[in-house]
């Protein structure tokens, strides 16, 4: 099975907290649920040409939402926080 970079990295997470983490060289991504830390590290290094030092992952449970009398659930997803080597940065986040 040939895994592509953007099959693993779904989208960057741009929130107030993730923007503050960028000052320390940490970036957050939504990733494929079955992706391992090694695959995430490889995908970030391939996509952005940076050196990844550390990868932290977490499974985010979907929240329950109400639409009138109906209760539904949002999808669960996987989040990865990637720490880059000193001096490296991902330019796609700059100016956000």
pLDDT tens digits, one per residue of 24-44: 999 999 999 999 999 999 999
Helix (H, G, I), strand (E, B) or coil at 1: coil
- On whether the CB atoms of residues 83 and 54 are closer than 8 A, the answer is yes
* Model pTM score: 0.86
Question: Going residue by residue through the chain (96 aa), what tens digit of pLDDT does each one get?
Answer: 457 877 899 999 999 999 999 999 999 999 999 999 999 999 999 999 999 999 999 999 999 999 999 999 999 999 999 999 999 999 876 655
Catalogue the E-assigned strands of the chain: 9-12, 26-31, 52-60, 64-67, 70-73, 77-84
Residues 74, 63 contacting (CB under 8 angstroms): yes
Tokens of 10: 């779904």
Question: Which domains does the chain carry?
Answer: 5-86 (3.30.70.330)
């Amino acid at each position: 099975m040939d895994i592509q970079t953007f099959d693993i990295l779904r989208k960057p997470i741009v929130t107030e907290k993730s923007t503050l983490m960028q000052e320390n060289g940490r970036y957050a991504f939504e990733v494929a649920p079955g992706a391992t830390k090694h695959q995430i590290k490889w995908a970030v290094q391939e996509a952005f040409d940076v050196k990844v030092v550390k990868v932290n992952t977490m499974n985010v449970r979907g929240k329950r939402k109400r639409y009138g009398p109906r209760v539904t659930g949002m999808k669960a997803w996987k989040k990865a926080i990637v720490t880059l080597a000193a001096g490296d940065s991902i330019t796609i986040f700059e100016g956000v």
